[in-house]
Amino acid sequence: MPMVLRVGVAGASGYAGGEVLRLLAQHPGVEIGAVTAYSQVGETLGSVHPHLGSLADRVFVATAPQALAGHDVVILALPHGASGPLAADLPDDVLVIDCGADHRLASSKDWERFYGGDHPGTWTYGLPELITGSSGAEEPLTQRHLIRNSRRIAVPGCNVTAVTLALGPGIASGLLEAQDLVAVLANGPSGAGRALKPHLLASEILGSASPYQVGGVHRHIPEILQNLRAANPDAEPTISFTPTLVPMARGILATVTARLTTTMDDDGPLRDAYTRAYAGERFVTFLPPGQWPSTAATLGANTAHLQLALDRDAKRAVIVAAIDNLVKGTAGAAIQCLNIASGFPEETGLTLNGVAP
């Protein structure tokens, strides 16, 4: 067990930053250092995050390299474009974990197309359960071994986590076609951040469901494709990806379909591939037959729940994944990576238990 680590959180006034602090507050191996913000500098943390009673008297300081100096770990919960310049001023021996998009993509062309501007660079990808070798092996290779030896880690996008976990074993095993993938997601608006946006007002969301970033333009698409190529280097994946805002504060329910590569009499081969791939994963639960994921069951937990079925007439598999976008989709993934890179047991400070109803 490593000694107690001092952790600074940049962008701590937002939803992701607040969730990082909630999880750090129950982590026995860390001491929370600087908490930084932009417009809330000088305000108390309790005035912005009243649910974080144990940290209520802490005061936000300006987001600057000086404020983050002297920390063992820095977690960045900043809008895209803000993490790169700040991280460049932090020492190489500091563990920096970016919850934003700046360092996820390996392709500068993908960055320029979907985000615009200069590519900030590529860090170790922070999805421990990402399959990076054939799931035909007894223990599939995963991204975990790269995280363990890294000091710069990029946490995945929340939608990406749900879709990647839903498709990874099927693509890696060769049982699912990588092309003509379809993903439709129900999303809580907290995934869009805390900034005031008219289309996210309660009066717009309550009693309504509406799609957004439709038609292949969502910024998480290249990241999903990147992950599927990691799972199967022979794959040339394509995906139709449609997120939908629904009136729940947090959570993602991803319904993903894929063509089968071979005729199946039942779902046994697919079920075996998913069971084998996730057998050793503490935070991914492949549910028993007939039990379907729900966002309520993963609320507040660092868990992903999965289930599948065959649509024989359509010759497709249907895989459903549920996560909490602020925990397994963001802050929980950051703490999970902190644990792996720092030598803590992977589950330290994290819970498998949701808070339903």
CA torsion sign for 28, 75, 350, 172 is negative
**Helices vs strands, H then E, count in the chain:** 12, 14
Helix (H) or strand (E) holding 293: none
d(CA 176, CA 187): 25
Distance CA 81, CA 118 (A): 9
Q: Which residue's entry shows tokens 């030896």? A: 149
Active site residue 158: yes
**Choice among 35, 158, 165, 304 that is catalytic:** 158
* Whole-number Å distance between alpha carbons of 216 and 224: 12
* Integer Cα distance of 119 and 297 in angstroms: 37
How far is the CA of 202 from the CAs of 62, 114, 185, 188, in angstroms?
30, 28, 20, 12
Decide: 282 and 348 in contact? Cβ < 8 Å: no
Strands 304-311 and 316-323: what pairing? antiparallel
Contact between 16 and 35 under an 8 Å Cβ cutoff? The reply is no
Q: How far is the C-alpha of 41 from the C-alpha of 61, rounded, in Å?
A: 5
- Report which residue type is found at 226: Q
Report the candidate in 151, 130, 162, 187 with the shortest Cα–Cα distance to residue 74: 151
- Report the alpha-carbon distance of residue 218 to residue 11 in Å, rounded: 23
Active-site residues, by number, are 158
